Amino acid sequence: MSLRNALYWLYFRLQRRIVPKLRFSQDLYEEILRAHLPSSGAWLDLGCGHRLLQSWRARHEAELLQGRNVFGVDYDLDSLKAHQNIHRKARADIAALPFRDQVFELVTANMVVEHLEHPGTQFAEVCRVLKPGGRFLFHTPNLYGYTTVLARLTPEFMKKKLVRLVEGREEQDVFRTYYRANDLKTIRALAERTGFEVEQSRLIASTAALIVLFPLVIVELFWIRFLLTRAGRPLRPGLIVVLRKRQQGSLTVKGEQRHFRRSQQP
């Protein structure tokens, strides 16, 4: 057993004792995603990267995508090439998606929104490609969560090496973050401006981030236990949000007004 695997084994024994009801945020995201999958129609995954779910959920990812009309976009070409389960892929900027108006029933983004440099323009573009009543589901860090605060305090030159140590992620898979749409107040304002309404928003805790930094992870587990209380809710590290495209109306981005009509066809 490697040292990392041994630390994970010890961690999960501790988690069951200290925070027995804690769930991994990616499991919660998958659960909510399954509840919103359209019975028919097209689905777009933004920043699809290497995979839709975690590597150990590869079989479930393949089952989830089977028989569905799924498209993926990512700006990083190497990540895009590595994706094995989404076959309709395009290298694209989220601010200029290569699709017609009102094509998709569902747009998803798993740990992508924190990387958006111009979220007003990018949310508006997502709204453009969604059918009226379609949903934009995303999972992203909470601006006020402890992991985000620590990440923002970490100098840029250290981030990639720390992510590799803590998460085991390769440095080429670490991208710049902006956190410009990562709190509920900002998300509500963006939704109103770009043609959406907030259908669901959920602040979530997750498994510890410092698993390999024993014994610091013990302190983190007691902090997470506090986060699961009502008082700790605003400081939970993750957000899962479902935005619904309004049936009709107008949107404004940087002073420019754009209209969409229910009768408009893809």
The answer to whether residue 262 scores a pLDDT higher than 80 is no
Domains of the chain: 3-246 (3.40.50.150)
| pLDDT given at position 173 | 64
| pLDDT given at position 164 | 67
Parallel, antiparallel, or unpaired: how do β-strands 256-260 and 249-253 relate? antiparallel
| pLDDT given at position 42 | 96
Residues 206-221 have a mean pLDDT of: 94
pTM: 0.88
Rounded Cα gap, residues 4 and 168, in angstroms: 9
pLDDT grade, residue 264 (50/70/90)? very low
Residue owning tokens 């993926």: 72
Both tokens assigned to 26:
């990616």
Phi, psi of 181, rounded to the nearest 5 degrees: -145, 55
Contacts of residue 19, defined as CB under 8 A and 6 or more positions apart, other chains included, come to: 221, 224, 225, 228
| pLDDT given at position 171 | 60
pLDDT tens-digit readout, 222-260: 999 999 999 999 999 999 999 999 986 445 454 444 443
pLDDT grade, residue 151 (50/70/90)? confident
CB burial string 174-211: b at 16+ within 10 A, e below? eeebebbbbbbeebbebbebbbbeeeeebbbbbbbbbb
Of 46-60, 95-109, 154-168, 209-223, the poorest mean pLDDT is in 154-168
pLDDT tens-digit readout, 185-201: 999 999 999 999 999 99
Both tokens assigned to 206:
């997750």
**203 contacts 142 by C-beta, under 8 angstroms:** yes
Residue type, 211: I
Q: How far is CA 252 from the centre of its chain?
A: 24
The answer to whether residue 84 scores a pLDDT higher than 90 is no
